[in-house]
Amino acid sequence: MLVWSAVAVVGAVCWSVLALSRGESVSALWILFAALSSYAIGYRFYSRFIARRVLQVDDHRATPAERLENGRDFEVTDRRVLFGHHFAAIAGAGPLVGPVLAAQMGYLPGTVWIIVGVLLAGAVQDMVVLFFSMRRNGQSLGQMIRAEIGVVGGIAALIAVFAIMILILAVLALIVVNALAESPWGVFSIALTIPIALFMGVYLRVLRPGRVLEASLIGVVLLLAAIIGGGMVDGTPLGDALTLDKTTLVLALVVYGFVASVLPVWLLLTPRDYLSTFMKIGVIVLLAVSLVIAMPVLRNDAVSSFALAGNGPVFAGSLFPFVFITIACGALSGFHALISSGTTPKMLAKESQVRVIGYGGMLMESFVAISALIAACVLDPALYFSINAPAGATGATVEGASTFVANLGFSISPAELQAAADTIEEATLVSRTGGAPTLAYGISEIFETAFGGGLQAFWYHFAIMFEALFILTAVDAGTRVGRFMLQDTVGNVWKKFGDLTWWPASWIASAVVVGAWGGILYIGVTDPLGGINQLFPLFGIANQLLAAIALTLCTVLLVKHGKLRHAWVTGVPLVWVLVVTMTASFQKVFSADPAVGYFAQRARYADALDRGEVLAPAVDASAMQQVVTNSTVNGVLQSVFALLTLVVVANGVLVVVRAVRAGGLPTTEAPAEPSRIVEPAGLFPTAEERALLAAERDRLDREKAGSSR
Amino acid sequence: MSAVIARLSRGAAAVRWYLRALTGEDRWDRHVELCAAQGRTPMTRREFERHRTDVAAAHAHERCC
């Protein structure tokens, strides 16, 4: 109890400093420790309450992994190993990019949302979905919605999941394109990851089957060599050949995405995934350590003027609802519901482990988001806005950027901007939108302060590589998941198409999926208004809408199980995310402000086009036409996502009303069977669990001795 | 001194155990153990790993944003 009181005091002090400091220099460590102490308290008390009182996990009940063990998808897995698997599956580029963009609003709104959001919404969603899927033999989110809410909701959810996934892939790819455009160093090292992964694939299949650690070690060494080698290509003919513009990179990514999705997984996807997982863990640990050593100071305001006025250059819209949209992953991410109802529930050894895997895994992702937020907030705001303002605003020149940020009230000279780009050996940093260059620059500064050695250019490209690597892994894997979904859906009507080994079907399905995200990617890359500021809000809203769908399912299930008294646990986050997403959707569709509303933007440009005028930042009539088309596409997508979600929610409300009247309804939960295995609940076994484990070992030894006699 | 070395080597062994389990490298050992317990002849490592990757290929590979 003494320990927990101490943790609470530390947390309270950190929060007070963050909330009360104004106009003085605030150390980033206050954010770090506010986060860590809040996570500790949330995990210890709230997640235990959810596990014991709300879900009533029962370790005497066998999990699907124990009942249906088949050595393939159903398999009792060590909780620490499963934690690693689950974390590697949920954590991607999302928690790195969202907080960086949200830093436009200041450090406080992002910090509060990431921490409060994860404790009360994000981690709760992951844990509860994991629990319900586990009780249903690992059914997917779509299957559970169809079975527990209804066919209409199920179909709407299926379409929403597919559409949202396409959008997410497009936005992730857009981040990579923006980070690699006109950067021969970046292109060189990222391109080399493909032959490195292929080599590892052949190594593991042919040369030394199964020696994953060996192959990964070789891979990581080659990867570092590729980053160092990249520093030498600039200025050479090879460097010139690798200086690619955005449209060329789009084409390259689309071709790559298609090939990666039809190649055997052992050749490219699996080895790349090993690399990206090791890099992910390595960088996160390195970042946490270097933050403590470097102790950087937050350079931006606690709450910036853009937060209230809603006229920020990175993305338009005011604090409410747009901070909660921009930071999705790290606080609340609907996509995790797909992972929590995927392979993880089929591998749990004990019911009580949903707490450490579901809630704990999400806390870890939230910590990544906090680190990313810090990396963006320790940058000089003038530099931050020069990097993140769209090219239409800065003219993509250092002079233009310097003037532009001066109008925002910040000061940086063209020479200083050029010097910043020179330290990381990039041609320019102006309007390198998408979040990745900002984060990489922030990380390189922190690492340089912590470790020294004049390696900032290396660290920058190391960070770019790290982000690009797992974005590309997500693009490969996402394209394959999309392909499987498409083949499965079409397979209901045309059986042959559902055969995953029939190549015409897999090629066609892959081409459709790649074409869909490639198309949106192209729209984003060529958008005269800047792609990220147009598409990222759409991405964030889509992810949160998926969370609304998942939380609807959780709430419906709590009520159906007769736990109306505790339905607020997922009901309150559901209401919150609905308010946020519906406000945001409404503004994006109906706002009269052309910077916020897609259709207002469309009307503004369409009217000007009719009058024969050209509005900045468009430069000619065809760019004007492009803005009109893009705003229409974005507005329609936005409306469709919101409507699909409302269909699921409405269907859910009907079921809740029926269930409340009846005092509960039958569900598709698998019947209980007694468990025969003993496993600890948390990462570290308690004294009580140790005694149980020892007794179990004795029993097994006796059995063995008995049977061999 | 030797206590420190013993502790370090225990730590290194734990890290190795974790990484092998995380990457699935330890599956082969388990297969061999299981076969020994049941008195069967294990597959060759090559066959086993090939079988394992082919099974994995039929499943969607989940990676989030």
Chain B residues lying within 8 Å of A85, measured CB to CB: 22
In angstroms, the CA A537 to CA A365 distance is 20
Task: Confirm or reject contact between B7 and chain A (CB < 8 A).
Answer: no
pLDDT band at B64 (very low <50, low <70, confident <90, very high): confident
User: Which residues does residue A297 pair with via DSSP β-bridges, in sequence order?
Assistant: A27
Task: Provide the 8-state DSSP code for A119.
Answer: I
Q: A289-292 long-range contacts, Cβ below 8 Å, gap at least 24?
A: A289/A450, A290/A446, A290/A447, A290/A449, A290/A450, A290/A451, A291/A28, A291/A29, A291/A32, A291/A371, A291/A374, A291/A446, A291/A450, A292/A29, A292/A32
Concatenating the DSSP letter of every residue in A136-196 gives TTT--HHHHHHHHT-HHHHHHHHHHHHHHHHHHHHHHHHHHHHHHTT-HHHHHHHHHHHHH
* Gyration radius from chain A CA atoms: 25
Which SS3 state, helix, strand or coil, does residue A27 take? Answer: strand
Tokens of A688: 């009580």
Cα dihedral B45/B48/B54/B55 (nearest 10)? -140
pLDDT of residue B63: 78
Q: In Å, how far are A13, A183, A215, A306, A441 from A18, measured between CA atoms?
A: 9, 37, 45, 19, 24
Q: Which of A141, A265, A481 to mutate to test the interface with B (most CBs of B within 10 A)?
A: A265
Closest CA to A547 of A94, A34, A110: A94
pLDDT higher for A706 or A473? A473
Instruction: Report the chain B residue with the minimal C-alpha distance to residue A81.
Output: B22
User: Which residues does residue A296 pair with via DSSP β-bridges, in sequence order?
Assistant: none
ipTM for the complex?
0.94
pLDDT of residue A707: 63
Q: Which of A80, A91, A209 sits opposite B45 (nearest CB)?
A: A209
Which H, E and C letters describe A322-347, residue by residue? Answer: HHHHHCCCCCCCCCHHHHHCCCHHHC
Q: How far is B26 from chain A (nearest CA, A)?
A: 9
pLDDT of residue A455: 94
Chain A residues lying within 8 Å of B27, measured CB to CB: 210
Chain A residues lying within 8 Å of B50, measured CB to CB: 205, 209
Q: In Å, how far are A272, A356, A550, A707, B19 from A477, measured between CA atoms?
A: 11, 25, 21, 46, 22
Q: Look at chain B and count its residues.
A: 65
* CB-based contact B60 A269, cutoff 8 Å: no
In angstroms, the CA A631 to CA A120 distance is 34
pLDDT band at A281 (very low <50, low <70, confident <90, very high): confident
- Cβ atoms within 10 A of the Cβ of A71, count? 12
Chain B residues lying within 8 Å of A273, measured CB to CB: 61, 63
Q: In Å, how far are A372, A691, B63 from A379, measured between CA atoms?
A: 12, 51, 30
Kindly report, residue by residue over A129-171, the tens digit of the pLDDT: 999 999 999 999 999 999 999 999 999 999 988 988 899 899 9
Asked if A454 and A460 touch (Cβ cutoff 8 Å), the reply is no
Chain B residues lying within 8 Å of A216, measured CB to CB: 23
pLDDT of residue A606: 95
Which SS3 state, helix, strand or coil, does residue A705 take? Answer: helix
E strand or H helix that includes residue A297: strand A297-298
Q: In Å, how far are A178, A210, A230 from B24, measured between CA atoms?
A: 35, 8, 32
Chain B residues lying within 8 Å of A484, measured CB to CB: 60
* CB-based contact A269 B61, cutoff 8 Å: yes
* CB-based contact A210 B56, cutoff 8 Å: no
- B residues 27-56 lying closer than 8 A (beta carbon) to A: 27-28, 45-46, 48-50, 52-53, 55-56
Instruction: Report the chain A residue with the minimal C-alpha distance to residue B63.
Output: A89
Instruction: Report the chain A residue with the minimal C-alpha distance to residue B14.
Output: A80
Res A24 pLDDT > 80: no
**Mean pLDDT value of segment A98-121:** 97
**Mean pLDDT value of segment A210-239:** 94
In angstroms, the CA A78 to CA A88 distance is 15
Res A655 pLDDT > 80: yes
Q: How far is A339 from chain B (nearest CA, A)?
A: 7
* CB-based contact A212 B25, cutoff 8 Å: yes
* CB-based contact A339 B62, cutoff 8 Å: yes
In angstroms, the CA A689 to CA A695 distance is 10
Chain A residues lying within 8 Å of B51, measured CB to CB: none
pLDDT of residue A705: 78
CA quadruple A382, A386, A390, A392: dihedral positive or negative? positive
pLDDT band at A523 (very low <50, low <70, confident <90, very high): very high
Q: What are phi and psi of A303, to 5 degrees?
A: -130, 120
Res A708 pLDDT > 60: no
pLDDT of residue B10: 95
Asked if A146 and A492 touch (Cβ cutoff 8 Å), the reply is no
Concatenating the DSSP letter of every residue in A421-480 gives HHHTT-S--TT--SSHHHHHHHHHHHHHHHH-SS-HHHHHHHHHHHHHHHHHHHHHHHHH
Kindly report, residue by residue over A282-316, the tens digit of the pLDDT: 898 999 999 999 999 999 999 999 999 999 999 99
Whose structure tokens read 């140790």?
Answer: A690
pLDDT band at A72 (very low <50, low <70, confident <90, very high): confident
Rounded to 10 deg, the angle between the A436-451 and A361-377 helix axes is: 80
Q: Which of B57, B58, B62 sits opposite A342 (nearest CB)?
A: B62
Instruction: Report the chain A residue with the minimal C-alpha distance to residue B61.
Output: A477
Q: What are phi and psi of A210, to 5 degrees?
A: 80, -5
Instruction: Report the chain B residue with the minimal C-alpha distance to residue A328.
Output: B65
* Gyration radius from chain B CA atoms: 17
In angstroms, the CA A93 to CA A169 distance is 11
Q: Which of A211, A265, A480 sits opposite B25 (nearest CB)?
A: A211
Kindly report, residue by residue over A582-600, the tens digit of the pLDDT: 999 999 999 999 999 999 9
* CB-based contact A212 B53, cutoff 8 Å: no
Q: Which of A94, A204, A477 sits opposite B62 (nearest CB)?
A: A477
Q: How far is A1 from chain B (nearest CA, A)?
A: 30
Average pLDDT, chain A: 94
**Mean pLDDT value of segment A31-58:** 97
In angstroms, the CA A610 to CA A452 distance is 58
Among A427-436, A507-516, B50-59, whose mean pLDDT is lowest?
B50-59
Q: Which of B46, B59, B63 sits opposite A209 (nearest CB)?
A: B46
In angstroms, the CA B64 to CA A267 distance is 21
Cα dihedral A686/A692/A695/A700 (nearest 10)? -110
CA quadruple A105, A381, A119, A546: dihedral positive or negative? positive
Closest CA to A572 of A16, A47, A121, A5: A121
* CB-based contact B65 A168, cutoff 8 Å: yes
Res A25 pLDDT > 60: yes
**pLDDT over 90 for what percent of chain A?**
84
Asked if A464 and A186 touch (Cβ cutoff 8 Å), the reply is yes
Asked if A432 and A174 touch (Cβ cutoff 8 Å), the reply is no
pTM for the whole thing?
0.95
- Cβ atoms within 10 A of the Cβ of A500, count? 18
Report the amino acid identity of residue A421.
A
Res A181 pLDDT > 70: yes
